[in-house]
Amino acid sequence: MTYRQPFSGTSGIVLRQLTPHGNKFSVLTNTEGKIYLVILDPKASRQIAPGNFIVFPQQKRTIDTIITTRLDFCETHSAHTTPTLALTHHILEIAYFFTQINEPNIPIFTTLKSFMSLPLFYDILGENWRKIEIIGAAVLINICGHNLETSEPKIREILEKLNNILIYSLDFDDLSKINSLKIYLTSISNDFIQFLEKWILASLQSHPASKEFKTIQFMYGNIKNTSKKRIPCAP
């Protein structure tokens, strides 16, 4: 459901519902970083879910929590289907654990918002969806600044290049840029994607909260060797 009425307030992406069937959520905002959001309107709190883009007024504020009685805007992603849910849940989980309370970071917010909208273009990008999943996870981990200190220096250069290309490509007012992204994804070798998979897994396993991740097994359960290896040639 989408509320379409004039609105102004704080924009955010719902990362996680913190109380089952409750009204407390973890939200990554565009101006204040990750915060806790309590929605006092039961109807509004029931209508939002992880991945939703929302706008809400700040009616009461504590150090790390915003309390509001309503939502001014709630955009759901009806395009999220079974093939795309893995990306959605994995990216949201990375953002939840790798971002800090009250630390604004516009690049993280912008990148996450872009990836949350990618399922709209599954018909165009579907044949390269695994590449999108892996590049999305790698880019977000890199932007959040949590990665293996022992990684070869070239990995940073490659990820920065990928991130710049993705930010440029994810301009939804111009479908030609989505088609350009499709062409670029096709040019990325499977060897490079396999290297990124191992790099991502090693990065996730090094996180202090790694045991709390719920998507690792589903995303990388078939990867056994996370040892450092030479980076394959990348485009």
Confidence band of 152 (pLDDT split at 50, 70, 90): low
The set of residues, in sequence order, having a beta carbon less than 8 Å from that of 233 and lying 6+ positions away, is 189, 191, 192
Collapsing DSSP states into helix, strand and coil, what is residue 171?
coil
Predicted pLDDT of residue 41: 92
Classify residue 228: in a domain, yes or no: no
Q: Do 49 and 164 share a structural domain?
A: no
Q: Do 175 and 61 share a structural domain?
A: no
Q: Do 117 and 202 share a structural domain?
A: yes
In the numeric block, which tokens belong to residue 154? Answer: 């070239």
Confidence band of 227 (pLDDT split at 50, 70, 90): very low
Q: Do 193 and 97 share a structural domain?
A: yes
Q: What is the CA radius of gyration of the chain?
A: 18
Q: Do 114 and 70 share a structural domain?
A: no
Predicted pLDDT of residue 176: 76
Phi-psi map region of 55: left, alpha, beta (phi>0 left; psi -120 to 50 alpha) = beta
Q: Do 107 and 204 share a structural domain?
A: yes
The model's pTM is 0.84
β pairing state of 65-68 and 33-39:
parallel
The set of residues, in sequence order, having a beta carbon less than 8 Å from that of 109 and lying 6+ positions away, is 13, 28, 29, 30
Predicted pLDDT of residue 154: 64
Range of the domain at 32: 10-75
Q: Do 130 and 94 share a structural domain?
A: yes
Classify residue 36: in a domain, yes or no: yes
CATH number of the structural domain spanning residue 60 = 2.40.50.140
Classify residue 193: in a domain, yes or no: yes
Classify residue 150: in a domain, yes or no: yes
Q: Packing angle between helix 129-144 and helix 82-98, nearest 10 degrees?
A: 10
Predicted pLDDT of residue 103: 93
Q: Do 213 and 147 share a structural domain?
A: yes
Q: Do 213 and 152 share a structural domain?
A: yes
Write the pLDDT tens digit of every residue in 95-108. 999 999 999 988 89
Classify residue 233: in a domain, yes or no: no
Predicted pLDDT of residue 139: 85
How many structural domains compose the chain? 2
**pLDDT greater than 70 at residue 174:** no
The set of residues, in sequence order, having a beta carbon less than 8 Å from that of 123 and lying 6+ positions away, is none
CA separation for the pair 136, 121 (Å, rounded): 15
Confidence band of 163 (pLDDT split at 50, 70, 90): low
Q: Do 60 and 23 share a structural domain?
A: yes
Q: Do 108 and 88 share a structural domain?
A: yes
Mean of pLDDT values over 134-138:
88
Among residues 34, 55, 75, the one where a domain terminates is 75
Write the pLDDT tens digit of every residue in 64-111. 999 999 888 888 765 556 778 888 899 999 999 999 999 998 889 988
C-alpha 48, offset from chain centre: 17
Q: Do 92 and 62 share a structural domain?
A: no
Classify residue 159: in a domain, yes or no: yes
Among residues 58, 75, 92, the one where a domain terminates is 75
Among residues 75, 97, 120, the one where a domain terminates is 75
